[in-house]
Chains A and B, each alone.
Chain A
């Protein structure tokens, strides 16, 4: 990811609300965004805000996770919803994939 201004967000201080079902009966899919050296940090933050409707701080938290750790699990959803989110992220040319939650 191309560095723009580093936002003042410390990874680890945001308590993430549970999203999606974690029920053992319903298989879940993880939506993952991968780092690349071409997308701007501001752009990735903006896309997360648009696609998930997140506040800027949460979007920056995940953007920094992508930047520093190479990837971020953005959400856990049903297959249909996960496909929807991956498609939305790919429309913005971000490297997004989904995989079955083990």
Chain B
């Protein structure tokens, strides 16, 4: 997939398989389990923790709605001779980065939160999470490069 920055817009040019990969990845959101919370000592008042949990849950529900809208908007993707073309604003690209990172981190949690990649055992059960983590990461790196522009 190529991502080119033109002013405030980011133009994506994707082959048919890349487009299908991106849409397939987005359908995995949300990937981070709702109950997942950092297991570290915190001196946070209960009210603050509740507020943060609620805000995050609301955000995830809103993101899920936005993804549905994104996937249900065929006019966003234009077929050209070079492949599928679609554009995102800067704000949409930031949003997509957050979505992809949820998928990456959630897949890593599903794999048992290993400290190193070589500690992950690739087999039939772990392959979907491994695939999602790597693909989301590859797309993120391309987007970060485009943002550096």
A interface residues with partner B (beta carbon < 8 Å): 2, 4, 34, 36-40, 42-43, 46, 50, 79, 83, 86-87, 90-93, 95, 97-100
Q: Is the C-beta of B104 less than 8 angstroms from some C-beta in chain A? A: yes
* A90–B42 CB distance below 8 A: no
Chain A: minimal CB distance from B92 (Å): 14
* A91–B105 CB distance below 8 A: no
* A38–B105 CB distance below 8 A: yes
Interface size band for B = 20 to 34
* B56–A91 CB distance below 8 A: yes
SS of A interface (majority): mixed
22 contacts between A and B (CB under 8 A): A2-B137, A34-B40, A38-B104, A38-B105, A39-B101, A39-B105, A42-B141, A43-B97, A50-B94, A79-B45, A79-B48, A83-B51, A87-B55, A90-B52, A90-B56, A92-B97, A92-B98, A93-B32, A97-B38, A98-B42, A98-B48, A99-B43
For A100, what are the chain B residues with a Cβ–Cβ distance below 8 Å?
A: 43
For B147, what are the chain A residues with a Cβ–Cβ distance below 8 Å?
A: 46
Chain A: minimal CB distance from B52 (Å): 6
* B38–A34 CB distance below 8 A: yes
Chain B: minimal CB distance from A30 (Å): 10
CA of A97 to CA of B38, assembled, Å: 8
* B40–A97 CB distance below 8 A: yes
For A90, what are the chain B residues with a Cβ–Cβ distance below 8 Å?
A: 52, 56
* B98–A83 CB distance below 8 A: no
* B141–A97 CB distance below 8 A: no
Known: A37-B114, A40-B137, A83-B48. A99 touches B101 (CB 8 A): no
Known: A87-B56, A90-B52, A93-B32. A43 touches B101 (CB 8 A): yes
Chain B: minimal CB distance from A4 (Å): 7
Known: A43-B101, A87-B56, A97-B40. A37 touches B115 (CB 8 A): yes
Chain B: minimal CB distance from A1 (Å): 11
In the complex, the chain A residue whose C-beta lies closest to that of B104 is A38
For B137, what are the chain A residues with a Cβ–Cβ distance below 8 Å?
A: 2, 40
For A99, what are the chain B residues with a Cβ–Cβ distance below 8 Å?
A: 42-44
Q: Is the C-beta of B116 less than 8 angstroms from some C-beta in chain A? A: yes
For B140, what are the chain A residues with a Cβ–Cβ distance below 8 Å?
A: 40, 43
